[in-house]
Amino acid sequence: GVARTETNGFQILFTGLAGQQHILQETTSLTNPWNFVGNPFACASGTNFVPVVPTPPATFWRVVPYP
């Protein structure tokens, strides 16, 4: 899911297991390759969030398990 923040960004909400590694990815088009954003992070059990502040030209984001 997505939640708007008070700044110019938003949060990507996802469900994970405690200690499972994830990483944020972005792309400019769903037909282009996905690029890693930042470092992998461990999540908590249940709902987690990743803050995103959009920077052009990226327009699509996702959180994926890592590695």
Q: Is 24 exposed, middle or buried (0-12, 13-18, 19+ CB in 10 A)?
A: buried
pLDDT band at 2 (very low <50, low <70, confident <90, very high): confident
Residues in the chain: 67
Q: In sequence order, what are the residues at sequence separation of 6 or more whose Cβ sits closer than 8 angstroms to the Cβ of residue 38? A: 23, 24
pLDDT of residue 7: 73
* Residue 51: pLDDT over 80: yes
Q: What is the pLDDT of residues 7-50, one digit of tens each?
A: 778 999 999 899 999 999 999 999 999 999 999 999 999 999 99
Q: From residue 35, how far is each of 1, 30, 58, 62 by CA, in Å? A: 20, 12, 10, 10
Hunting for tokens 């995103």 — which residue is that? Answer: 52
